[in-house]
Amino acid sequence: MDVTKEQIDAAIDLLTTMVVEDIARERHRDPSDVLPEFLLSHTGQMLHNENNKLWWEGPSMIEEMYRKESCSRL
C-alpha cells in the first residue's frame, strides 16, 4: 500500500500540532506564539520536507529535536 501525498501532509500537520501544543504547555506559552517559531526552526523545516521522512517519527522525538535546537540558540 502506497502512502499518498495527502496522507503525508496530514501526518505532518498532525505532528506539527502535537509538538507545538506540548512545547507551548511545557513553556507556559500560547500555541499560536510557538507555532511560527517552530515552523521557522531547523526541526520544523525538516519536518515539512517530506523527503527527510521525519514525519515517520513520533512527536516525542521531534519535540526532543526542537528542544535541543532551542537550547543551542540560547
pLDDT digits (tens, 9 = 90+) for 13-49: 999 999 999 999 999 999 999 999 999 999 999 999 9
Find the distance separating the first CA and the last CA of the chain, reported in whole Å. 44
Model confidence at 9, pLDDT cuts 50, 70, 90, reads very high
Q: What is the pLDDT of residue 65?
A: 95
Indicate the pTM of the whole model: 0.90
Q: In the prediction, which pLDDT does 74 show?
A: 56
Does 71 have pLDDT greater than 90? Answer: no
- Cβ proximity of 59 and 15 under 8 Å: yes
For the chain, the maximum distance between any two Cα atoms, rounded to a whole number of angstroms, is 44
